[in-house]
Structure 1
Amino acid sequence: MRKYAIIGVGHVGATIAYTLVCKGIADELVLIDTNVGKARAEQLDLQDAQARLDSRTIIKINDYQELADTDILFITSGNIHALDHASGNRWAEFEYTQHIVQAIAPQVKATGFNGVVIDTMNPCDAITHYFQRATGLSRQQVFGTGTFLDTARMQKVVAEVFNCDPKNISGYVYGEHGESQFSAWSTVQVNGIPITTLVDQYHLDLDELEAEARHGGWAVHSGKGYTSFAIATCAVKLSEAVLADARLACPVSAYNETFGTYVGQPAIIGKHGVEQVTKLALTATEQAKFQNSAKTIIEKFHAFDEALGLESADERQQA
């Protein structure tokens, strides 16, 4: 029995639900949203599709107690309109998503949920960290989509230059799921060939490619008012890696012991969530960018803590 739950059935949550049901990935699916009418409507719409699918999914709504035996929990709530005038700043949602976590974390914790949590909420790294801390779940169990999507955008941009399939582009985008992220070009290969050896031959401007990939989400948002398909695809793929214990090597927002924060980095995803964080040999410039991105997340996260009169578990231990 593969049991999934989604908290927040807006654009992303509903797309994840549709994907899980249509692909026959979930045997049971729980939809939770403060807008009961929306949750009920999504349930009915998905149930109406069942007679035309080759699989069957039991769909329930708005019952936190169902999380007690849930395998995968997606947290996808947010206020997308906060980004309408944010000029590329995902932190604009933090004012809203921090309060959402304050509301849902105690309810999740009360159920005894002990599965794996995949966060898509923005700002992804900070919210993932806050949710993990608020629920008391392990850092292994809780991770965010992070730069998994940003890496896919980098793969698309590079693939277009070389007229190849994006899956033939390997490598990673590191750091914040936000403006301080960066493409670690030392890790990127095109059809197995390091991209750094192709710069002169193809007259590549790596800074320009990086900027195009970083702003890809905003190009989508400016056209349709939100993003949904790509991030939902990333979230579902990560969940499948967990249930299959695939030990998938990919970038996610995972806790970094060195920096003391969740941040986008390569990791191995398996049945327990983040099985391990992969440390690759970055160039000195890339390492500096990685440290700077983590610092950006920490500073903004601590500012949030101070505003609420909170302190981190690490700070309490030090005291």
Structure 2
Amino acid sequence: MRKIIRPEGFSNYLNLYRSFASKCGGKSDEKEAKKSAFSSLVKPMKDSKRKPGFKITVVGAGKVGLACCSYLLDRRLAKELVIMDIQYERAQAEALDFNHGSVFLGEPKVVACGDGAHTKDSDLIVFTAGVRPGKKSRLEVMHDTVKILKAVVPKLVELSPKAIYLVIANPADVMTYAFQKIGKLPKHRCFTSGCHLDTARFRYYVAQHLKVPASAVQGFVIGEHGDSAVPVWSSVQVAGSCLRDVAKNPGCGDDPEKWAEIERKVICGGASVSRVKGYTDWAVALSAIDIVEAISGPYGKIMSVGTDMKGIQGIEDNVVLSMPCMVTSAGISYIYEMALTNGEYEKLHKSADILLKAQCKLKL
């Protein structure tokens, strides 16, 4: 082993450097940052330290599940991918189809599973299995999907107790509540993509209205991933400018520029696609993969995802809905309390009441 030779007086120089660094942005600055004004908006989650992994299970080989698998492999996010479906032969065929093209995908390991055995020690489980709403609303099909959860979740959690669980099955908010209860999982490791897709639609339609790229628009949709979703107009920014500073009454009151039409498109966006296709898959999968990238990346990302929001924005009950959250390799690390107008605050609480009533109807 080579001996490190330090020049004479090195220790004195090192002490001087540490003293200088402390004064110019060292540990003392970190402590001050935690006490900044912005920190009052940040609500840390407990036990959120975890290393990123590379084994991913997708439960459900339907349209959304397979779209997720395709993106996961194409973006090299899974070194090992498990496709789990009760129709084992179908899952096996899909896995084989991907393996035939593995040379184009970085040669990942793709396996099929029918009973959950191959999911053992997964780092991330994306749950897409559920009953397709069809002509029914998301909330109307929840009892049938809960039956699936009761049959599958206990074994998944037993085999992968430290995994992060991302719930895509509809109704996403209520199913996440059921998933947390059935699996006895902490809320920072079991959450739903929630309003992340609604937020993307919101940015898209605002951008279309203003004839700018969607990447130039910043804003969030919060609350239910469904009919009572709340676009937060008061915080929308376009190219660094607040929309409400340049547009008259976006989303409320007298509406000469017809911003309310955008809100309608955001809430009905999925239905407008499924009326023709019979389902939605690409955008749902893309929103899920964006979350997976945040989990697998080094820095994380702030996005509107859903988990138990008791204690946030005055919500007093254990109800799952979406708010801006920092998603990292540990799951949800922080929840951000946005500054809402009185009207937005009231809409959020109405959304929470709708979801709470739905949760109470579940037989868990």
CA distance in 2, matches of 1:119, 1:19: 17
Displacement of 1:54 in angstroms is: 4.7
TM-score, normalised on structure 2? 0.79
Displacement of 1:245 in angstroms is: 4.1
Match of 1:314 in 2: none
CA distance in 2, matches of 1:168, 1:12: 28
Q: 2:107 aligns with which of 56, 59, 70?
A: 56
Within 5 A, what are the aligned runs for 1:157-306?
157-200=205-248, 203-258=256-311, 259=315, 260-304=318-362
Name the stretch that deviates more: 192-201 or 242-251.
Answer: 192-201
User: Which amino acid in 2 is paired with 1:298?
Assistant: L
Root-mean-square deviation (CA, aligned residues, Å) is 1.6
CA distance in 2, matches of 1:49, 1:243: 23
- 1:5 and 2:57 matched: yes
Determine if contact 1:68/1:113 at 8 Å carries over to the other structure.
Answer: no
Determine if contact 2:295/2:327 at 8 Å carries over to the other structure.
Answer: yes
Displacement of 1:220 in angstroms is: 0.9
- 1:33 and 2:85 matched: yes
CA distance in 1, matches of 2:134, 2:122: 34
Displacement of 1:192 in angstroms is: 1.6
Match of 1:153 in 2: 201
Q: 1:15 aligns with which of 57, 67, 82?
A: 67
Match of 2:94 in 1: 42
- How many residues matched? 301
Name the stretch that deviates more: 193-202 or 37-46.
Answer: 193-202
Identity percentage of aligned residues: 27
Pick the structure with more helix per residue.
1
* Partner-residue secondary structure (3-state), 1:180: coil
CA distance in 2, matches of 1:242, 1:249: 11
CA distance in 2, matches of 1:100, 1:288: 34
* Partner-residue secondary structure (3-state), 1:156: helix
* Partner-residue secondary structure (3-state), 1:47: helix
Match of 1:137 in 2: 185
CA distance in 2, matches of 1:85, 1:76: 19
* Partner-residue secondary structure (3-state), 1:30: strand
CA distance in 2, matches of 1:65, 1:40: 14
Q: Which structure is larger by alpha-carbon Rg, 1 or 2?
A: 2
Displacement of 1:2 in angstroms is: 1.0
Displacement of 1:188 in angstroms is: 1.0
CA distance in 2, matches of 1:112, 1:160: 43
Determine if contact 2:134/2:279 at 8 Å carries over to the other structure.
Answer: no
User: Which amino acid in 2 is paired with 1:120?
Assistant: I
CA distance in 2, matches of 1:247, 1:180: 28
* Partner-residue secondary structure (3-state), 1:122: coil
User: Which amino acid in 2 is paired with 1:29?
Assistant: L
Determine if contact 1:21/1:56 at 8 Å carries over to the other structure.
Answer: no
Match of 2:134 in 1: 84
TM-score, normalised on structure 1? 0.90
Unaligned 5+ residue runs, structure 1? 311-319
CA distance in 1, matches of 2:178, 2:298: 26
Match of 1:65 in 2: 117
Unaligned 5+ residue runs, structure 2? 1-52, 251-255
Determine if contact 2:54/2:80 at 8 Å carries over to the other structure.
Answer: yes
